[in-house]
Amino acid sequence: MTLFSAAACAPGATRGAESPITDGESLIRAMHDRYAGRWYSTVAFSQKTTRTPPGRPASEDTWLEWGAMPGRLRIEFTRQGGGAIYANDSSYIIGPDGQVAARRGERNDLMTLGFDVYSQAPEVTLAQLRDAGFAMTPLRTDSWQGRPVYVVGAAAGDSTTKQFWIDAERLLFVRLLEPVPNRPGLSQDVRFNRYQPLGGGWIAPEVEVVAGGQRVFHEEYSDIRHDVPLDPSMFDPARWSSAVHPPAS
């Protein structure tokens, strides 16, 4: 491929003529097409995790995470041991003994919108989002943290319907709002902040979750690496303790 200019190939640059964005479906297709073939296939990082439950002291932990797109994520809890695996359509909680303590049939919406959308066919992403309860209409424009965004699934002023927000220039996921289970009228607001380039794509090294006007969960990434070779055993819950880890950076 001939490089005409650095700007033309920088993350976020438009690649040729893009189809008009008129609804959630065309937006997902545009997100995929913008970064197709350039987004990294794996990512690894250390995560400082801070929980601030209402009325309780904050607690901190360090998590080690590895993601392989599409659909796979491994989280190791360094303080208490164990962790979690997301593998396609299931999540597994791993106890300190390395055994599966619980399994649920679910995908990670944040993986789908923040990472997988750039690595898998748009039809797959759309089916997963609809299955997760997202409507692809209405679509509207708004602003978030001083930047224009597309909002899919909810009208202006509606903060309780499940919806996702996409940076209109870079076509990056920045926000998800959804009802908190068993808490009528309370929504969870997940925010991907401070995007920075990574490989041929981007990553948000800060994630925060706000509920009831209070930040209840905060993630800060460090030692971020991309396209690290990852052994499939890392995402096999039956091989949690024997999984082959990549060399430390």
Q: Is residue 151 part of a domain?
A: yes
| Residue 6 pLDDT grade (very low, low, confident, very high; cuts 50, 70, 90) | very low
Determine the pLDDT at residue 244.
95
- Is 224 among the domain residues? yes
Residue 3 pLDDT: 26
> What is the chain's length?
249
Q: Which residues contact 126 (CB under 8 A, 6 or more apart)?
A: 24, 25, 28, 136
Strand segments (E) across 138-231: 139-144, 147-152, 163-167, 173-179, 187-193, 196-198, 201-203, 206-211, 214-226
pLDDT band at 17, cuts 50/70/90? Answer: low
Q: What is the pLDDT of residue 184?
A: 75
**CATH code for position 133:** 2.50.20.10
**177 inside domain:** yes
Per-residue tokens: 146? 């001083």
Per-residue pLDDT of 51-78, as tens digits, reads 998 888 889 999 999 999 999 999 999 9
How confident is the model over 72-118, as pLDDT tens digits?
A: 999 999 998 999 999 979 999 999 999 999 999 999 999 999 999 99
Note the pLDDT of residue 57: 86
| Within-domain flag for 248 | no
pTM: 0.90
Q: What is the pLDDT of residue 183?
A: 75
* Residue 10 confidence (pLDDT) above 70: no
pLDDT at 143: 98
Contacts of 11 (CB under 8 A, 6+ apart): 35, 38, 170, 197, 198, 200, 201, 202
**Portion of the chain with pLDDT greater than 90, in percent:** 83
Asked if residue 32 belongs to a domain, the reply is yes
Task: Write down the pLDDT at residue 220.
Answer: 98
**Residue of higher predicted confidence among 249 and 17:** 249
Is there a domain that residue 3 lies in?
no
pLDDT at 249: 65
Decide if pLDDT at 134 tops 60: yes
Per residue in 205-238, pLDDT tens? 999 999 988 999 999 999 999 999 999 999 999 9
CB 39 within 8 A of CB 201: yes
Domain count, the chain: 1
Domain membership of residue 218 as a residue range: 21-237
Per-residue pLDDT, 43: 98
What mean pLDDT, rounded, does the chain reach? 91
Q: Looking at the domain assignment, is residue 9 inside a domain?
A: no
**Digit-coded pLDDT (tens) for 238-249:** 999 999 999 876
Residue 77 inside a domain? The answer is yes
Q: Is the pLDDT of residue 13 over 80?
A: no
pLDDT tops 60 at residue 140: yes
